[in-house]
Amino acid sequence: MNILVFNAGSSSLKFSVFRAGHEDAEELFKGSYERFRDGKCEFRFRHGETDERGTASIAGIDQAVEAIPAVLERFGLTVLDAVGHRVVHGGARFSAAIVLDDAIVAEIDTLTPLAPLHNPANLGAIRLCRRLWPDVPQVAVFDTAFHATNPPFATTYAVPKEWRDAGLRRYGFHGTSHKYVAMRAAQEIGVPASDLQIVSVHLGNGASVCAVNRGKSMDSSMGMTPLEGLVMGTRSGDVDPGAFGFLGRRFGLSTQEIETALNNDSGLKGLTGSSDMRDLEDRAAKSDLDAQLAIEIFAYRARKYVGAYAAAMGGIDAVVFTGGIGENSPSMRRRICDGLEFMGLRLDHDRNQSVHLANRAAPQIQAYGSRVRVFVTETAEQLMIARETAAALTLPAPVNEEIPVAVSARHVHLSASAVETLFGPGYQLTPAKPLRQPGQWAAAERVALAGPKGRLERVAILGPVRPRTQIEVSRTDSFALGIDAPVRESGKLDGTPVVTIAGPAGNLVTDGLIIAARHIHTNPTDAARLGLEDGEYVDVRIGDADRGLTFARTLIRVGANSFTEMHIDTDEGNAAGIGVGDGEEGEILQEAATVRSHSAG
């Protein structure tokens, strides 16, 4: 599948063409237009061995969008199967990528006032593509989506209820970038992101810092709009909202005028006349005091947020720099890190100076002995957008990961008091056969189950003892017993039916009879490798060509020491044509389901 990706930022238009297969998306072409000034801009096109740079007579991002079809034509990239668009603001409505149609485009349009520097260009690209290629599916990938996990105490402004009810809240942006670079750092460290506390520092023309706490965005410096937080190219970042009153009284400015000035004429541009960090660094080197102060303010604000997010998460393992400035300015990285030694972060100045970022490298630039790691890596917004676009459009496809499947025959887990009732006071079960889940075993003893319709003999007991007795049978078993058992997750036993367990020393009448919901046990390492999270549901394909089945809604249960294995019951095994001890394996299908259900409703 060939996917064209648009990434319109506030100062640049980046676009790529990817070939997406089962493995990953491969970037065939990468282009950019940036440094727009005096009706011109710089472009760069990379395709195979070709690397073209030059100046084009293109005045702004909207015009650059219009120029792209001709560029694609020139490079022979005319076969497109999908288009992925960066959309900066997704509001509260869009927390995942979505396939575009008229209604969705109209909804995105309503968010334009909340991202005035971005959404118009994002929509411009969407409309152009819908006009040029009406039959090619298009997907929007939102900057805000990664921050959907932010807790209410991070997203709520302390303002009147009526305003909050009307939707005044924090969202956060650059999510695609923060997600990618945090994941990239975790990969380099070799520890699942779910075990790490990472501060991601995206410094482009727009800039934000994100607290990625155990793999999830917890907070970020941008707010309801991409204006809050850091000093940016043309944006002020944090200012006292009291400024509105002052500016109204002093200059008679309207809210609209103040908003526009804070978005377009502030930040580095407001401080120096130029929004471009390269200009500022050149000028600062020539002793330009405005440029020097602007650089100091920029670094100081970023450093404050790094410290704040370490405190917010209660720890920090790594800082990752990315974005045009974060990737390319060693002096800015040094200024931000200077003074953070107190929290165990020490930079190695030589490493910081000699960063090379080809081929998605993520070099570490902390000093030996620094407790906090410091990474620099090129952001990969387009790659992420291509992946999400492919996922949103592809039916579940095997990820080539085989998971052992175990068919669990009926069994019971007993409490200590149940063991005594069934086997006599002080009785201890005899571990006879270890199970694949560490520490668990099948006992030598057996019990019988009795219901109004019938009895099941020689039912296995799995040890060790548990706080509560649980009896797991198949639907067929429940018919045999004459008891209607519910499908439940292990441990969720409230309101479950009563059954009689018969042992050599006595009978126990107890609730806890369930049909165990199918599930996959896994551990944090395997979960990270497989892209799984505790509590989520996946589809799994099992079985041979004749009777193979896809089991939908299979629960993921991550345990610190679990052996990765899927558990189904005998009815499910029979249906898929596999039996106990068959050594069958299942394939997890990609979790496109959540994304697809969005586009349906």
Ligand X SMILES: Nc1ncnc2c1ncn2[C@@H]1O[C@H](COP(=O)(O)OP(=O)(O)O)[C@@H](O)[C@H]1O
Ligand Y SMILES: CC(=O)OP(=O)(O)O
Residues annotated within the binding site for Mg(2+) are 7, 381
Q: Is 177 in the site for ligand X (CB under 6 A)?
A: no
Cβ atoms of 464 and 419 within 8 Å: the answer is no
Query: What angle, rounded to 10 degrees, do the helices at 61-74 and 119-132 form?
Result: 40
The one-letter code for the residue type at 315 is G
Query: Distance of CA 134 to CAs 16, 71, 82, 101, Å?
Result: 20, 19, 11, 11
Q: Is 138 in the site for ligand X (CB under 6 A)?
A: no
For residue 174 the two structure tokens come to 């650059």
Closest CA to 469 of 418, 426, 435: 418
Contact residue for ligand Y among 226, 237, 451, 543 (CB under 6 A): 226
Give catalytic status of residue 484 as yes or no.
no
Closest CA to 86 of 391, 531, 320, 383: 383
Q: Which does 325 bind (CB under 5 to 8 A by kind): ligand Y, Mg ion, ligand X, none?
A: ligand X
In a 10 Å sphere around its CB, with 0-12 CB exposed, 13-18 middle and 19+ buried, how is residue 426 labelled? exposed
Q: Which does 221 bind (CB under 5 to 8 A by kind): Mg ion, ligand Y, ligand X, none?
A: none
Residues 6+ apart with CB under 8 A from 70: none
Q: Which of 81, 101, 143, 165 is flagged as catalytic?
A: 143
Residue nearest to ligand Y (CB): 206
Residues interacting with Mg ion, by CB under 5 A? 9, 204
Residue nearest to ligand X (CB): 324
CB of 437 to ligand X, least distance (A): 47
Q: Which does 278 bind (CB under 5 to 8 A by kind): ligand X, Mg ion, ligand Y, none?
A: ligand X
Pairing of strands 82-87, 138-142: parallel
Pairing of strands 441-450, 431-434: antiparallel
CB of 205 to ligand X, least distance (A): 4
Range 274-293, binding ligand X (CB under 6 A):
276-278, 281
Closest CA to 427 of 413, 439, 415, 441: 415
CB of 515 to ligand Y, least distance (A): 48
Q: Which does 174 bind (CB under 5 to 8 A by kind): Mg ion, ligand Y, ligand X, none?
A: ligand Y
Listed ranges 161-169, 198-206, 257-265, 572-580: which one lies at the site for ligand Y (CB under 6 A): 198-206
Q: Is 122 in the site for ligand X (CB under 6 A)?
A: no
What is the C-alpha to C-alpha distance for residues 403 and 374, in angstroms, rounded to an integer? 35
Q: Which does 508 bind (CB under 5 to 8 A by kind): ligand X, ligand Y, Mg ion, none?
A: none
CB of 177 to Mg ion, least distance (A): 7
Q: Is 174 in the site for ligand Y (CB under 6 A)?
A: yes
Annotated binding site: 7, 14, 86, 202-206, 276-278, 324-328, 381
Contact residue for ligand X among 2, 4, 12, 123 (CB under 6 A): 12
Cβ atoms of 350 and 406 within 8 Å: the answer is no
If you count them, how many residues does the chain have?
601
Contact residue for ligand X among 4, 5, 11, 43 (CB under 6 A): 11
What is the C-alpha to C-alpha distance for residues 416 and 464, in angstroms, rounded to an integer? 9
Q: Which does 223 bind (CB under 5 to 8 A by kind): ligand X, ligand Y, Mg ion, none?
A: none
Backbone angles phi, psi at 493, to 5 degrees: -110, 5
Distance spanning both ends of the chain, measured CA to CA: 25
Catalytic residue positions, numbered: 143
Interface residue list for ligand X (CB under 6 A): 9-12, 204-206, 233, 276-278, 281, 323-325, 328-329
